[in-house]
């Protein structure tokens, strides 16, 4: 019982810390809050209240802002029947990130449309926050946030999503992974009405040490 309690408290503290970091970064681009707004925001995030949902969309937006501010070269790779690569500008980069910034990730809708569970993966030594869709009415089927805990700073490692939707007569499955401060990639499996499935992978890399990935 005590282990469960301390585990939940640890998860709450991790989420509060991450939400605080996102809020601090966002405040640089937003007008100052009124006292009433500040009080309301503070009262909604208390250690005594169990918290289950991470601000997934805001975490991605924060990383996009980092790229906007600090990135040097942004490398684009596409693997299908052949491999192509080229450098892209910020405008193209931001257009591609729209595939991650889904309306379902907005905080109120996210809690309404998705369940939640979490566990510590002893193999990867990361805490997995898993958000499965509650029904089949949304194209976004699953979200997983991987956090590497430590004694000093608990850091988000990556965000993973699964999508399913129809594009004309084709059924499309996508697996999207965003590795914080490094790159993202999108695996797309397109199932045509006739013929074999076609698989492609798109990678966008802004961390020079990951260009060879």
For 41, other C-beta atoms within 10 Å of its C-beta total: 12
Q: Which residues pair with 76 in a beta bridge?
A: 86, 204
* Each residue's pLDDT tens digit, 164-187: 999 999 999 999 999 999 999 999
Among residues 185, 164, 209, 210, which one has the least CA distance to residue 78? 185
Tokens representing 149 are 């805990």
User: Is pLDDT of 162 > 90?
Assistant: yes
Q: How far apart are CA 62 and CA 26, in angstroms?
A: 8
* pTM as predicted: 0.79
pLDDT confidence band for 48 (50 / 70 / 90): very low
* Order of strands, sheet of 140-148, starting from the edge strand that comes earlier in the sequence: 83-88, 74-79, 198-205, 183-191, 170-179, 155-167, 140-148, 126-132, 117-121
* Each residue's pLDDT tens digit, 56-72: 999 999 999 999 887 67
* Each residue's pLDDT tens digit, 186-211: 999 999 999 999 999 999 999 999 99
User: Is pLDDT of 152 > 90?
Assistant: no
Please give the average per-residue pLDDT across 77-91, as a whole number: 93
Least confident of 33-37, 67-71, 142-146: 33-37
Please give the average per-residue pLDDT across 118-130, as a whole number: 94
């Amino acid at each position: 019982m005590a282990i469960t309690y301390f585990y939940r408290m640890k998860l709450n503290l991790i989420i509060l810390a991450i939400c605080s970091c996102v809020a601090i970064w966002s405040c640089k681009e937003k007008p100052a809050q009124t006292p009433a707004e500040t009080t309301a925001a503070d009262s909604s995030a208390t250690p005594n209240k169990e918290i289950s949902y991470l601000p997934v969309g805001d975490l991605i937006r924060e990383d996009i802002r980092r790229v906007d501010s600090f990135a040097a070269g942004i490398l684009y790779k596409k693997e299908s029947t052949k491999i192509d690569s080229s450098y892209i500008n910020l405008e193209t980069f931001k257009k591609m990130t729209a595939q991650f910034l889904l309306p379902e990730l907005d905080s109120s809708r996210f809690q309404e449309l998705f369940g939640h569970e979490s566990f510590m993966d002893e193999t990867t030594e990361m805490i997995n926050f898993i958000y499965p869709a509650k029904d089949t009415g949304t194209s976004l089927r699953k979200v997983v946030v991987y956090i590497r805990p430590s004694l000093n700073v608990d850091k988000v490692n990556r965000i993973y999503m699964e999508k399913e939707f129809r594009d004309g007569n084709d059924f499309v499955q996508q697996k999207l992974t965003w590795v914080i401060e490094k790159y993202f990639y999108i695996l797309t499996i397109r199932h045509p009405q006739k013929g074999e499935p076609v698989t492609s992978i798109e990678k966008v890399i802004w961390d020079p040490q990951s260009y060879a990935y």
